[in-house]
C-alpha cells in the first residue's frame, strides 16, 4: 500500500492501445472548488479498481472525464490509447452513470435496442434482459419503472456493446441484496474474461467483494492506494469486542464504543489489551478479536485527514 500525493500509477509495458485507461495530471475546477487536483492513474487489464472517498471527493468528476463527458482543465486522459470523446473509443467501453435517466415514454426493450444500435457487435437483447432481470419489465415504459428497475437497466446498458472496459459510478445503489449480488457476478465475469473495471461505490462490502485495487480520494487528491488488505493494515487497528457489565481501565484504547453491555474497542495493542482484560477480574463473555473492516479502516483514515 502506498501513501500518495495525487498519483496512483502502475508501470505499463507494450502497446498503450492495450491499456484500458491512463490519466496524467488531471485537474478540474468548478467555480471556487477544485474537484480534481492533478491526479494520475493507470487502469490495467483484468483489474477492478475501486475509488473510495467521501461525497464531493471528486469520484464522479473523474469518471465523467474518463468517459469523455467532461474535459479536464489540464492533464491528459487516454482510453486504450485514444481520446475518450472519440466515437471509436467510446465503442470500446461501457458506462453506468450515477444520475442515469431515460426517456419516460420509451419501453425498456426499445431503450436496449437503441443503445445496442451504436455498437458493431452488441450482445443480444434477450441476453441483456435475462442477465439483469429485466424480462418481466421489457414492455414497460421507463417512466413506470421503480428505482431499482431503472438501476438494473442502467447497468445492463453498460454491457450492451461487449465493452473491453467498464466505468461504473455507484452501479448498485438502491438495489436489493439479491440483485446486487447478481450484478457483482456479471462484473466478476467481465474481469475474468479479460476486461477492466473502474468502480465507484459507497458500499464497502461491495468494494471488499470485488476490488483488486483500491484508491482513496479526498478533496480532489489520491491519498492512499493498495489492495483491500493493505488498506486495512494501513490504520494498524484491531477490533476487540466483548460483553461485560462494566469496563476496567485498559491499555492501548484508540477508540471505544458501547451499546448496553457490548463493548467494541479499536486498538493497536490487541494482545496487551486482552491480557489486561483477563487479569482485571471483570466478568466478560463473547470475546472476539478481528481485523478492522474496510469501512472501519476508511473511517479511521478520514478522521486523520479531518
Residue 86: how many CB atoms within 10 A of its CB? 12
- Domain boundary (232, 248, 278) is at 232
Task: Look at phi and psi of residue 31 and say left if phi exceeds 0, alpha if psi is from -120 to 50, else beta.
Answer: left
3-state secondary structure of 255: strand
CATH number of 291's domain:
3.30.70
d(CA 172, CA 209): 13
Assess whether 256 and 171 both reside in one domain. Answer: no
CATH number of 112's domain:
3.40.50.300
* Phi, psi dihedral angles at 172 (to 5 degrees): -110, 15
Geometric angle at alpha carbon 112, from 108 and 117, rounded to 5°: 150
Assess whether 109 and 26 both reside in one domain. Answer: yes
Q: Helix, strand, coil: what percent of the chain each, to 5? A: 35, 30, 35
Assess whether 169 and 261 both reside in one domain. Answer: no
Provide the pLDDT for residue 16. 56
Assess whether 247 and 108 both reside in one domain. Answer: no
Assess whether 115 and 261 both reside in one domain. Answer: no
DSSP-assigned states of every residue in 58-83 = SHHHHHHHHTTSS--SEEEEEBTTB-
Instruction: Give the residue numbers spanning the domain of 112.
Output: 2-232
Cell of residue 261, nine digits: 453491555
How would you label 92-107 residue by residue, b for 16+ Cβ within 10 Å and e otherwise?
bbbbbbeebebeeeeb
- Domain boundary (232, 257, 275) is at 232
Closest-CA residue to 44 (of 67, 23, 21): 21
Assess whether 160 and 202 both reside in one domain. Answer: yes
Assess whether 34 and 126 both reside in one domain. Answer: yes
Whether residue 222 contacts residue 4, with contact meaning beta carbons closer than 8 Å, is answered with yes
Give me Rg for the CA atoms of the chain. Answer: 22
DSSP code of residue 5:
S
Q: How many domains does the chain have?
A: 2
Assess whether 191 and 272 both reside in one domain. Answer: no
Q: Where are the beta strands (DSSP E) in 201-280?
A: 213-218, 221-226, 238-243, 253-259, 262-267
- Domain boundary (232, 259, 279) is at 232
3-state secondary structure of 184: helix
Assess whether 153 and 281 both reside in one domain. Answer: no
Provide the pLDDT for residue 88. 94
Assess whether 71 and 23 both reside in one domain. Answer: yes
* CA atoms within a 13 Å half-sphere pointing along the CA-CB vector of 26: 28
Per-residue pLDDT of the chain (306 residues; tens, 9 = 90+): 555 555 555 544 445 568 999 999 999 999 999 999 999 999 999 999 999 988 889 999 999 999 999 999 999 999 999 999 999 999 999 999 988 789 999 999 999 999 999 999 999 999 999 999 999 999 999 999 999 999 999 999 999 999 999 999 999 988 999 999 999 999 999 999 999 999 999 889 999 999 999 999 999 999 889 999 898 888 889 999 999 999 999 999 999 999 999 999 999 999 999 999 999 999 999 999 999 999 888 888 777 665
Assess whether 13 and 107 both reside in one domain. Answer: yes
d(CA 237, CA 291): 7
Assess whether 293 and 195 both reside in one domain. Answer: no
DSSP code of residue 222:
E
Write out the H or E segment, with its range, that includes residue 240.
strand 238-243
Amino acid at each position: 500500500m502506498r501513501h500518495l500525493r495525487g498519483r496512483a500509477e502502475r508501470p505499463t509495458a507494450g502497446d498503450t492501445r492495450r491499456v484500458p485507461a491512463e490519466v496524467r495530471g488531471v485537474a478540474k475546477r468548478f467555480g471556487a472548488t477544485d474537484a480534481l487536483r492533478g491526479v494520475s492513474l493507470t487502469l490495467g487489464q483484468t483489474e477492478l479498481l475501486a475509488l473510495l472517498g467521501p461525497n464531493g471527493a471528486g469520484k464522479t468528476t473523474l469518471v465523467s472525464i474518463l468517459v469523455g463527458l467532461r474535459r479536464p482543465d489540464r492533464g491528459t486522459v487516454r482510453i486504450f490509447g485514444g481520446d475518450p470523446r472519440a466515437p471509436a473509443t467510446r465503442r470500446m467501453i461501457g458506462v453506468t452513470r450515477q444520475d442515469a435517466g431515460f426517456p419516460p415514454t420509451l419501453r425498456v426493450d426499445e431503450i436496449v435496442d437503441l443503445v445496442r444500435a451504436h455498437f458493431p457487435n452488441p450482445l443480444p437483447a434477450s441476453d441483456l434482459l435475462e442477465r439483469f432481470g429485466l424480462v418481466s419489465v421489457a414492455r414497460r415504459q421507463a417512466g413506470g419503472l421503480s428505482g431499482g428497475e431503472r438501476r438494473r437497466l442502467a447497468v445492463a446498458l453498460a454491457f450492451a456493446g461487449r465493452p473491453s472496459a467498464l466505468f461504473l459510478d455507484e452501479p448498485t445503489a438502491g438495489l436489493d441484496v439479491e440483485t446486487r449480488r447478481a450484478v457483482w457476478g456479471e462484473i466478476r465475469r467481465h474481469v475474468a474474461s479479460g476486461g477492466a473495471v473502474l468502480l465507484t461505490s459507497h458500499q464497502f462490502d461491495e468494494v471488499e467483494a470485488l476490488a483488486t485495487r483500491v484508491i482513496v480520494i479526498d478533496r480532489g487528491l489520491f491519498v492512499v492506494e493498495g489492495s483491500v488488505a493493505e488498506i486495512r493494515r494501513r490504520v494498524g487497528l484491531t477490533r476487540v469486542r466483548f460483553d461485560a457489565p462494566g469496563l476496567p481501565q485498559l491499555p492501548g484504547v484508540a477508540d471505544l464504543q458501547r451499546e448496553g453491555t457490548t463493548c467494541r474497542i479499536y486498538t493497536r495493542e490487541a494482545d496487551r489489551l486482552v491480557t489486561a482484560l483477563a487479569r482485571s477480574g471483570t466478568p466478560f463473555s463473547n470475546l472476539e478479536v478481528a481485523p478492522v473492516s474496510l469501512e472501519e479502516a476508511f473511517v479511521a483514515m478520514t478522521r486523520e485527514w479531518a
